[in-house]
């Protein structure tokens, strides 16, 4: 286990784990064409796993750096700002084994909540990247992420974690790569147990009004914002339009809305200011993206954003609960720090590999 104490915040990610099989090709194949790839890569993926990795890496210094504090580069022994736990499902196959050991051994994610089912296959994403344009074509086979993650298989496992009182979870993070009924049941359980939730509804589908009512943090990209709000994506081109759309989410009962805008940065709106912001701190605004020398690959930029934002949320919450100094979640600071972390990710190739450790920020 990670070297944490009872004041270390605990983040639980409920979501998908996939093995990504990536072929790089000179052009996308036509029907019937057999194409030889120029490169091939196998790596851990799935939005759930990527966000768990983001929380874990951004919460600790790289354990293999020379000046690290972890004996022998042991990631589990490295001091971490948060404990990160993954709840998901894989098959009892080589991909499942590799995904779990990758998450726990390389990144220090607690995977005791990842179920292995011998009757199911691990989820796989077949990704074809057209090298000249960088455009992806992706075939997603959810397998265990769907077949093993229905509410009946999942909710019992979440009960203890979310209703755990003092030892319980400080933030539940979810996406939509597992069955929607499970996400909706988990939202209801978290609300009932007073566990704050961050929902990153990707891939987006229209959600029932009950999903947004009382939701603490909604993090969406432009496409997701348009699908969920019913607006035209072009409405998000202007700051006025962003404010209107964010306001619609706040009107639906969301506490804090964050719309990530790729190279344009991020727009946020908060329905409540923390105490130390009452003297005029902004409750909404557009934060420009960090200037980067070269954008290499934007994969996992959104997941990195979620990871850093989540860490700011749980440390803010702990400060408020712990020392009564008027701390609390400062959404603007969370957004600015997450914007910086995500900018690091776009400068590196890959998904989980490109997410920075805390000492790389």
- Which residues would be at the binding site for ligand ATP (CB under 6 A)? 221, 260-263, 265-266, 289-290, 292, 295, 298-303, 305, 339, 342-343, 346
Residue 50, marked binder: yes
Residue 333, marked binder: no
* Known catalytic membership, residue 160: no
Residue 191, marked binder: no
d(CA 276, CA 301): 29
Residue 285, marked binder: no
State which residue, 108 or 307, has the beta carbon closest to ligand ATP.
307
d(CA 326, CA 261): 31
Burial 283-292, CB ≥16 within 10 A → b, else e = ebbebebbee
**Minimum distance of ligand ATP from residue 48's CB (angstroms):** 13
**Minimum distance of ligand ATP from residue 319's CB (angstroms):** 24
Q: How many CB atoms lie within 10 A of CB 42?
A: 11
Point out the residue whose Cβ comes nearest to ligand ATP.
Answer: 302
Q: Within 13 Å of residue 227, how many CA atoms lie on the same side as its CB?
A: 14
**Minimum distance of ligand ATP from residue 200's CB (angstroms):** 8
State which residue, 113 or 142, has the beta carbon closest to ligand ATP.
142
State which residue, 169 or 334, has the beta carbon closest to ligand ATP.
334
- Residues 6+ positions from 260 with CB-CB distance below 8 Å: 219, 220, 221, 222, 266, 301, 302, 305, 342
State which residue, 148 or 302, has the beta carbon closest to ligand ATP.
302
**Minimum distance of ligand ATP from residue 181's CB (angstroms):** 24
State which residue, 136 or 272, has the beta carbon closest to ligand ATP.
136
Residue 67, marked binder: no
Burial 86-106, CB ≥16 within 10 A → b, else e = bbbbbbebebbebbbebbbeb
d(CA 176, CA 16): 9
Burial 193-220, CB ≥16 within 10 A → b, else e = bebbbbbbbbebeebeeebbeebbbbbb
Catalytic residue among 93, 110, 303, 330: 303
**Minimum distance of ligand ATP from residue 150's CB (angstroms):** 25
Residue 339, marked binder: yes
State which residue, 104 or 260, has the beta carbon closest to ligand ATP.
260
Residue 350, marked binder: yes
For residue 60, CA distances in Å to 3, 20, 51, 80, 329 come to 11, 25, 15, 5, 20
d(CA 132, CA 319): 48
Residue 299, marked binder: yes
**Minimum distance of ligand ATP from residue 223's CB (angstroms):** 7
- Residues 6+ positions from 156 with CB-CB distance below 8 Å: none
Looking at beta carbons, which pairs linking 228-237 to residues 24 or more positions away fall under 8 Å? 228/201, 228/204, 230/206, 236/261
Distance of CA 229 to the CA centre of its chain: 21
Closest C-alpha among 234, 199, 193, 200 to residue 216: 199
List, as residue ranges, the binding site for substrate: 18-20, 46-50, 177, 303
Binding residues: 18-20, 46-50, 177, 221, 260-265, 297, 299, 302-303, 339, 345, 348, 350, 354
Q: Which residues are annotated as a binding site for ATP?
A: 221, 260-265, 302-303, 339
Task: Extract the annotated binding site for K(+).
Answer: 297, 299, 345, 348, 350, 354
Which amino acids are annotated catalytic? 303
């Amino acid at each position: 286990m990670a070297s944490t104490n009872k004041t270390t915040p605990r983040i639980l990610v409920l979501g998908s784990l996939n093995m990504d099989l990536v072929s790089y090709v000179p052009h996308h194949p036509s029907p019937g064409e057999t194409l030889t790839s120029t490169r091939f890569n196998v790596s851990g993926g799935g939005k759930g796993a990527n966000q768990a990795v983001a929380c874990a890496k951004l919460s600790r210094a790289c354990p293999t750096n020379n000046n690290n504090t972890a004996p022998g580069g042991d990631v589990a022994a490295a001091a971490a700002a948060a404990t990160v736990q993954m709840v998901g499902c894989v098959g009892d196959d080589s991909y499942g084994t590799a995904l779990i050991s990758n998450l726990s051994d390389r990144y220090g994610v607690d995977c005791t909540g990842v179920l292995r089912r011998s009757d199911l296959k691990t989820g796989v994403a077949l990704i074809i990247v057209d090298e000249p344009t960088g455009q992806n074509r992706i075939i997603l086979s959810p397998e265990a992420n769907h077949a093993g993650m229905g509410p009946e298989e999942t909710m019992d496992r979440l009960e203890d974690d979310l209703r755990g009182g003092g030892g319980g979870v400080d933030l539940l993070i979810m996406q939509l790569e597992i069955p929607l009924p499970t996400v909706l049941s988990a939202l209801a359980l978290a609300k009932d147990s007073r566990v704050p939730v961050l929902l990153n509804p990707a891939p987006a589908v229209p959600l029932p009004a009950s999903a947004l009512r009382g939701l603490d943090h909604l993090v969406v990209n432009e496409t997701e914002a348009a699908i969920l709000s019913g607006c035209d994506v072009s409405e998000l081109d202007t700051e006025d339009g962003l404010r209107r759309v964010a306001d619609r989410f706040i009107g639906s009962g969301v506490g804090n809305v964050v719309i990530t805008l790729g190279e344009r940065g991020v727009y946020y709106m908060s329905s409540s200011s923390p105490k130390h912001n009452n003297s005029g701190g902004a409750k909404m605004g557009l934060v420009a993206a960090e200037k980067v020398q070269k954008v290499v690959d934007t994969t996992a930029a959104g997941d990195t954003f979620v990871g850093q934002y989540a860490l700011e949320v749980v440390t803010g919450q702990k400060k408020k609960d712990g020392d009564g100094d008027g701390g609390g979640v400062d959404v603007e600071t969370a957004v600015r720090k997450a914007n910086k972390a995500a900018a690091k990710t776009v400068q590196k190739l890959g998904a989980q590999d490109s997410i920075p450790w805390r000492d790389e920020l």
